[in-house]
Chains A and B, each alone.
Chain A
Amino acid sequence: MLTIKNLKASVEGKQILNGLNLEIKPGEIHAIMGPNGAGKSTLGNVLTGREGYEITEGEVSFMGQDLLDMAPEDRARMGLFLSFQYPVEIPGVPMVNFLKASVNEHRKFKGQEPLTAGEFLKLMREKKEMLHLDSQLTNRSVNEGFSGGEKKKNEIFQMAMLEPKLAILDETDSGLDIDALRVVAEGVNALKSPERSAIVITHYQRLLDYIVPDFVHVLYNGKIVMSAGKELALELEEKGYDWIKKEFA
């Protein structure tokens, strides 16, 4: 599904990704852990096409296509989703209009007819029920005045609406209390299928109690320095990152 080969990227002349390799197959959940500044968020931004990152080397293929060559909206329409670490508030753009435009763009890309207003509201209702979401969220402007937890739930809600092939959850657990964490995790698990994959970027093992990864990778200095099964997360929780820093400095 996703193949990253020797990816190198820099921001304002500073190299952040340093020859990263990663292979994700359909149905897999990969956790990416690592200390601050390791390049975790950069990876999410580079994959989704955010401006300001210079790719200096390497290649990324997604669903058999050259990902780095595509506009951000086309990557999204192909099924790549980023749950933002800091979801953006967009005053004046109602959630409903935003989501409807988004869902219908995805449908158009697949050659499907746009949803009617009725169909769209029905879909929204179903997904809200599935995630036990407060219906208030969709009556407001995108993320405007949302609490930290509400913003993260809203990301998961959008993910549920768009049903991406590959979701990148960038520190979705940060700033969440245990109840919100459970809602987020349940949402991710509910969407699990043999065709859908996820990259879970996190600092802590906590989220991985709820979303069980098939693989855990440690990102350090812009490279994956260690990969193992879910037990690696526990080890990191116990020992911290210092020994990694020492070993791979």
Chain B
Amino acid sequence: MTQTLINKKAVSEKYSELYQVNRSTLDQGSSPVLNRMRDIAIKRFEQQGVPGFKNEDYKYTNLERVFGKEYRHIFEYEKVDVDLNEVFRCDVPQLDTYTILLVNGWYYARNKQLEGLPDGVVVGSLKQVANEQPELLENYLNRQAALSDDPLVALNTAFAQDGFFMYVPENVKFEKPVQVINLTRAQEAVFSTQRNLIIAGANSEAKVIFCDHTLTSSECLGNSVTEVFVGDRAVVDVYAVQNQNNKSNAINSVFFKLGEKSNLMSGVASLHGGLIRNNLLVSMDGENAEANVYGMSFTDKRQHVDNYTNIQHNQANCLSNQLYKNVLDEDSVGAFTGRIHVARDAQKTNAFQRNNNVLLTDTAKMNTKPQLIIDADDVKCSHGATVGQIDLDALFYMRQRGIGEADARMMLMNAFAHEVVQEIRIEPLRDRIDELVEKRLKGELGKCNNCDA
């Protein structure tokens, strides 16, 4: 026990020291909006340190090992020696998006100029916007993250310098999706801290697709935080396609604050990655808001995917739907913790949650834990979790019709995943994900793009 404590302390102290040593570099060039939150955040981090098994919220994912390794930290923007616009081409046909590249958490300096953005829409680098138009983010940045108890969110806040920023003014329907390509590109193990902020004003519409890729086969660790503000009556879609190398470690914490009558669609597809922990926190802060929260993962080898959700119903008459599905092969491990909290006055809440899992081997492992805390009396809440194998009766039925075993299995797994895929509200993306899922299941998916770097 002492050993564990020492390790945990040593690991956490490493990050405190790193902060103290680099404090002036972090501040340099960053806006006061970012800098003013650092000291409080690092203290919050130090109070708990890197979460270990004893942290109930992280009991299925051991992060001490991951954070204990040596990484290179990047506290100043590094020039990229190739033109990433050339190296990276997403070949999704019919998916017409504004494409933004980020490298190791930093906004790529040679991103193409975005043409034809609707009036007032701002898409760009968090660092740059914080410096040039701090008034745009002052009332939003860290307003959700600061309320979190998660030490890793605090760690991000302490180190945050750059990331993706988007602002859609009220009444603007921004139809064309913005695709944010997060690239990890380094010769050696690199640590990235990315901070994103998305603000959708009242009655606006916005769609963002995050694609996480690694252009390296070496180990890496990313600790990202995204805050999304969905204004009253706004409709916002945020999708994430996670396709990193199997030595990567990624912790993504995404916060959504929903205004009244707003509508959120969040979809996360974890295709490849070594260790993935997705924290997804929704705060329903206006009446009649709707949150649709979907996720799926496909794991094999020794992959580890842990999804943690917290849907906070603070106001009456809101609806939340959660559906997470996982297909686990070989020695992979998955976890799902889904928390729904209905506050005392949030009457007429409808909150639904489902988690279905298929284990393809005896050695794959799934942990699932629904947590419902209901403090109101007039609510409709449900949750259900299943862990099972491929339906052998269905498999035989298909084979009896002449469909080969491998194809039949594929059709069944596709069907399993499709229940999630069909919820995607951008059609070309839906088709693309269907295709990626099929490739992933067939073991043909290495990278989902044309990128050979």
Contacts and interface: CB of A to CB of B under 8 A. Distances in A.
Contacts of B419: 91-92
A91 to B, nearest CB: 7
Interface string B86-123: 00000000000000000000000000000000000000
Interface core residue of A76, A81, A97, A99 (most chain B CB under 10 Å)? A76
A19 interface: no
Given A71-B405, A73-B402, A90 B396 contact: no
Interface stretch (A4-12, A20-28, A100-108, A216-224): A100-108
Contact of A76 (B400, B407, B411, B414): B400
Contacts of B392: 51
Given A88-B394, A88-B397, A98-B398, A73 B403 contact: yes
Interface residues of A, number: 31
Contacts of A141: 415
Given A90-B394, A92-B415, A92-B418, A98 B401 contact: yes
Given A50-B396, A51-B392, A90 B412 contact: yes
B412 to A, nearest CB: 7
B402 A162 contact: yes
Contacts of A105: 401-404
A190 interface: no
B286 to A, nearest CB: 34
B415 A77 contact: no
Main secondary structure of the interface of B (DSSP, over half): helix
Interface residues of B, number: 23
Contact of A73 (B391, B394, B405, B415): B405
B132 interface: no
A121 interface: no
Contacts of A97: 411
Contacts of B19: none
B396 A109 contact: no
B393 interface: yes
A89 B411 CA distance: 14
A106 B402 contact: yes
B416 interface: yes
A73 B393 contact: no
A88 B407 CA distance: 17
Contact of B402 (A51, A88, A109, A142): A109
Contacts of A88: 391, 393-394, 396-397
23 contacts: A48-B400, A49-B399, A72-B396, A73-B402, A76-B400, A76-B401, A77-B402, A84-B397, A88-B394, A88-B396, A88-B397, A90-B398, A92-B416, A92-B419, A93-B411, A93-B412, A98-B398, A101-B407, A102-B398, A105-B404, A106-B402, A109-B402, A141-B415
| Closest 6 pairs between A and B when the two form their complex, measured CB to CB | A92-B415, A105-B402, A102-B401, A76-B402, A72-B399, A88-B397
Interface of B: 391-394, 396-405, 407-408, 411-412, 414-416, 418-419
